[in-house]
């Protein structure tokens, strides 16, 4: 049992208490006693309403289950179903047309369009990589992935042929993003800046940019020689590194050694789906990394290629503007923090009655308190020049929960001496009741809204769970072709634009889940800016660089204007249509493959989560293709199997046998990991039990979430390792 300290009537994990008092609060002007009093006040005011909102979720689910049970086997009646949902309060009354009133946000959130990273807060190295992913090498991203030649490069010396293709691809992007007058960038033999104008030399003579406004400035190096040229397109910068002494630059006619792209404009530092924080020590670790970002002091010792060095946050980049003024380009991604939702409580803080505190309330006060360091920093690079704190709030079900989030952050602001509205909120449109009532949700957050996004993963898990009694669902691979998906994606953009979010706040799309398939990503993910999304999630800094090319090729502001002019798309009737499988029999092979795919994905993720505390993993699938897995993907797979079990598509024995077969596969896939504990042949470890709980008890998990099972089993593992009694 972790040591605890009494603070304002709360029993606080000692590790967490020391972090708050010794690290987070000094320098914020917030007294220790005032902080704990504020936390106790949040619990006193909001714990009961939090529980009431969760109870309402369950009541609505029970009514929806009863509706489907009573009508199972009947022809679908969309109009009657919609009327029923309105009658029980699942569909809220509409709100009048409005425009969001959030004040001007930082450019990365309001004005610019570009990639977004999501990174687990518990891994300092990953956090630093993401924060520093504002700029990245296009040459490296193309050369080192399958984006060129359909395969990653083989080990060995530099491949000149591959390098030439990389350079040609980069020059083609320059031709599209910052075209020259009467020449291609491939013909350039030198660059000069004369009188604030970029001059390009070619064999045919001198030329310049077709649009001089796309020259953003330059930087000089030793002896005043031109070292960098900065271009700008759709608000995104491109940096040309000029170095004729570099191995690449020396063989380049123009002396261009690299092409740098402004890539991850923003990053979500995640306290939720990608971490495994089950106690006070875990929470302190995550908060400490967020604090280091807000103070600008986060550092991590890294060993790479036999060399050990300290990685720190990147500095801003000096530039001489075309008018001769000296300025700085932002060197870091703008950082947001994702708190947890309403469901989970945490043993990090116990209330006066001995119950656990709602984890979201703890997150809200601690994460904003850490951000005070950024708001009150006297100099140096700051995260939010506009003086905002960006918090992403996930897993909200409907406008009453959105309003609850607004109320809690109003209380946090008051407790920390901040003006109301300092905290800006990102709304995750990932639960069905939020999608169906999105306009009302945005209205509840109209003076705080920083972004709204679509997330296929959690949204699909909730889709299955909400309609679990309606019938057997389509296979996971067929889900993207369901009517509700198109309606969901279109309505999200349409409603956000109608509420005035275009050019004012982010409208986002979901994650690319295949981090090793960059060629495929380049071919497909351009659909996101084309759909009017000003940001979309990518799994790595390299992916951010490659996805940034899409925002040079698509003018998102123009696309948003065209979409808005075209009128609303996506019918509510389609959004609410349960993705029940058509009346056809799947072959035994199709059923087996689907069950094994889901079982293998669950096991591959859960075994690392429970045994090693890894909240986000690249898990090889049955074909050994690495897929990014987190609790959202696990939720889909678990609910898919729970649904098929409920409707007799498969039996418990078949699923259990599949789980055992797939445990052997996962053991093989992890054989090279010295920290890995095999599940076979005993199949009696806590990780395997957790995976089975998610499937066989999945029907009864609140909203189909995986957190309760995973947290309970992870705590058991930690207690066993510490030699203490397992928590209840």
Exposed (0-12), middle (13-18) or buried (19+): which is 489, by Cβ within 10 Å? buried
Question: Which H helix or E strand runs over 347?
Answer: strand 345-350
Catalytic residue at 429? Answer: no
Asked if 85 and 59 touch (Cβ cutoff 8 Å), the reply is no
Phi-psi region of 341 (alpha: psi -120 to 50; beta: other; left: phi over 0): beta
How far is residue 118's CA from residue 539's CA, in Å, rounded to a whole number? 7
Question: Which of 279, 494, 630, 693 is the catalytic position?
Answer: 630
How far is residue 350's CA from residue 167's CA, in Å, rounded to a whole number? 58
Catalytic residue at 338? Answer: yes
Residue with tokens 């007058």: 181
Tokens at 258, concatenated: 């690299």
Q: How far apart are the first and last CA of the chain?
A: 12
Question: Which of 7, 134, 228, 338 is the catalytic position?
Answer: 338
**Cα angle 243, 245, 248; round to 5:** 75
Residues in the chain: 728
Q: Measured between alpha carbons, how far is residue 610 from residues 325, 699, 727 in Å?
A: 55, 21, 15
How far is residue 349's CA from residue 424's CA, in Å, rounded to a whole number? 26
- Residue 343 — φ and ψ, nearest 5°? -70, -50
**Cα angle 350, 703, 496; round to 5:** 100
Instruction: Compute the CA torsion angle 235, 120, 516, 234 (nearest 10 deg).
Output: 0
Helices (H), 569-651: 572-575, 588-612, 631-646
Q: What is the DSSP letter of 209?
A: B
With DSSP H G I counted as helix, E B as strand and the rest as coil, what are the percentages for the chain, rounded to 5? 45, 20, 35
How far is residue 219's CA from residue 351's CA, in Å, rounded to a whole number? 56
Tokens at 217, concatenated: 């400035």
Tokens at 432, concatenated: 């069905």
**Cα angle 667, 671, 672; round to 5:** 150
CB under 8 A, 24+ apart: contacts of 190-195: 190/253, 190/254, 190/255, 191/226, 191/229, 191/240, 191/242, 191/254, 191/255, 192/226, 193/218, 193/226, 193/229
Asked if 209 and 178 touch (Cβ cutoff 8 Å), the reply is yes
- Nearest alpha-carbon partner for 99 in 556, 561, 495, 508: 495
How far is residue 641's CA from residue 594's CA, in Å, rounded to a whole number? 9
Each residue of 444-483: b (16+ CB within 10 Å) or e?
bbbebbbbbbbbbbbbbbbbbbbbbbbbbbbbbeebeebb
**β-strand 535-538 against 506-509: which pairing, if any?**
parallel
So which residues are the catalytic ones? Answer: 338, 630
């Amino acid at each position: 049992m972790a040591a605890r300290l009494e603070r304002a009537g709360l029993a606080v994990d000692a590790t967490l208490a020391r972090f708050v008092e010794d690290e987070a609060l000094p320098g914020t002007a917030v007294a220790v006693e005032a902080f704990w009093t504020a936390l106790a006040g949040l619990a006193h005011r909001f714990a009961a309403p939090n529980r009431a909102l969760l109870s309402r979720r369950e009541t609505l689910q029970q009514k929806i289950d009863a509706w489907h049970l009573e009508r199972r086997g009947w022809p679908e009646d969309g109009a009657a179903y919609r009327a029923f949902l309105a009658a029980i309060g699942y569909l809220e009354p509409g709100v009048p047309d409005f425009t969001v009133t959030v004040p001007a946000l930082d450019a990365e959130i309001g004005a610019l369009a570009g990639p977004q990273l999501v990174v687990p807060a518990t891994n300092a190295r990953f956090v630093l990589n993401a924060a520093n992913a504002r700029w990245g090498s296009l040459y490296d991203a193309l050369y080192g992935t399958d984006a060129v030649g359909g395969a990653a490069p083989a080990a060995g010396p530099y491949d000149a042929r591959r390098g030439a293709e990389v350079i040609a691809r980069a020059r083609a992007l320059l031709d599209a993003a910052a075209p020259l007058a009467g020449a291609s960038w491939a013909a350039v033999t030198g660059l000069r800046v004369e009188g604030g104008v970029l001059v390009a030399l070619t064999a045919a003579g001198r030329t310049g940019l077709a649009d001089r406004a796309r020259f953003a400035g330059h930087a000089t190096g030793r002896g005043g020689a031109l070292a960098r040229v900065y271009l700008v397109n759709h608000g995104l910068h491109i940096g040309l590194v000029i170095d004729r002494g570099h191995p690449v630059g020396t063989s380049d006619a123009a002396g261009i050694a690299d092409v740098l792209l402004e890539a991850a404009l923003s990053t979500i530092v995640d306290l939720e789906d990608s971490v495994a924080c089950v106690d006070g020590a875990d929470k302190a670790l995550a908060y400490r990394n967020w604090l280091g970002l807000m103070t600008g002091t986060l550092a991590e010792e890294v060993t790479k290629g036999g060399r050990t060095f300290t990685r720190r946050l990147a500095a801003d980049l000096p530039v001489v503007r075309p008018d001769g003024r000296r300025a700085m380009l932002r060197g870091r991604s703008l950082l947001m923090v994702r708190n947890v939702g309403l469901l989970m409580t945490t043993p990090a803080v116990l209330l006066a009655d001995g119950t656990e505190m709602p984890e979201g309330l703890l997150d809200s006060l601690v994460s904003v308190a850490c951000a005070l360091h950024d708001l009150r920093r006297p100099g140096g690079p700051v995260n939010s020049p506009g003086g905002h704190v960006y918090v992403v709030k996930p897993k909200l079900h409907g406008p009453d929960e959105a309003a609850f989030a607004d109320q809690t952050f109003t209380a946090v602001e008051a407790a920390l001496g901040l003006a109301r509205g300092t905290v800006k909120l990102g709304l995750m449109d990932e639960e069905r009741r939020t999608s169906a009532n999105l306009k009302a949700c945005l209205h509840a957050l109209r003076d705080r809204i920083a972004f709204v996004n679509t997330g296929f993963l959690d949204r699909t898990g909730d889709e299955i769970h909400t309609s679990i009694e309606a019938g057997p669902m389509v296979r996971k691979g067929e889900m993207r072709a369901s009517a509700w998906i198109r309606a969901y994606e279109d309505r999200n953009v349409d409603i956000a634009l109608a509420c005035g979010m275009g050019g004012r706040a982010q409208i986002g799309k979901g994650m690319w889940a295949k981090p090793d398939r960059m060629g495929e990503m380049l071919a497909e993910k351009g659909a996101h800016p084309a759909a009017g999304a000003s940001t979309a999630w990518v799994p790595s800094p390299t992916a951010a660089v490659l996805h940034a090319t899409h925002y040079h090729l698509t003018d998102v502001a123009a696309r948003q204007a065209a979409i808005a002019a075209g009128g609303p798309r996506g019918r509510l009737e389609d959004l609410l249509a349960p993705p029940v499988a058509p009346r056809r029999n799947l072959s035994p092979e199709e059923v087996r493959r689907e069950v094994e795919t889901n079982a293998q994905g669950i096991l591959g993720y859960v075994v690392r989560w429970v045994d090693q505390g890894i909240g986000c993993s690249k898990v090889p699938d049955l074909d050994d293709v690495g897929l990014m897995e987190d609790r959202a993907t696990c939720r889909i797979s678990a609910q898919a199997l729970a649904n098929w079990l409920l409707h007799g598509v498969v039996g418990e024995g078949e699923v259990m046998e599949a789980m055992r077969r797939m445990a052997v596969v996962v053991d093989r896939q992890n054989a090279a990991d010295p920290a890995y504990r095999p599940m076979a042949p005993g199949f009696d470890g806590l990780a395997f039990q957790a995976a089975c709980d998610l499937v066989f008890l999945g029907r009864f998990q609140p909203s189909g979430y995986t957190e309760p099972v995973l947290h309970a089993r992870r705590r058991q593992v930690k207690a066993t390792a510490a030699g203490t009694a397992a928590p209840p």
